[in-house]
Amino acid sequence: MPYIRIEVTREGVTQQQKQQLIAEATEMVVRVLGKDPATTFVIIDEVETDNWGVAGRTVTERRRMTAPRPAGTPADPPGG
């Protein structure tokens, strides 16, 4: 009874994309391990970007740091 857990940030993953993830993850386990799709469980967890960290910063903060600035907008001062 395979259990597949997929974690993504909550940023507009559509129902269609979720269905595709579930279908293709199930197909992979059937193909690779020969498991029964009727007993293969797929869970998709959506995590807020404030609750997901990479390299010591939240995804929210990293996105803010790399977002393009409108022309003429001053950069934030160091540490701010």
The answer for residues whose C-beta is within 8 angstroms of residue 59's C-beta and 6 or more apart is: 9, 49, 50, 52, 53
The residue from 2, 37, 70, 78 that is catalytic is 2
> Which tokens is 51 given?
């609750």
2 is catalytic: yes
**CA–CA separation, 8 vs 66, rounded Å?**
19
Pairing of strands 53-54, 57-58: antiparallel
Q: State the catalytic residues.
A: 2
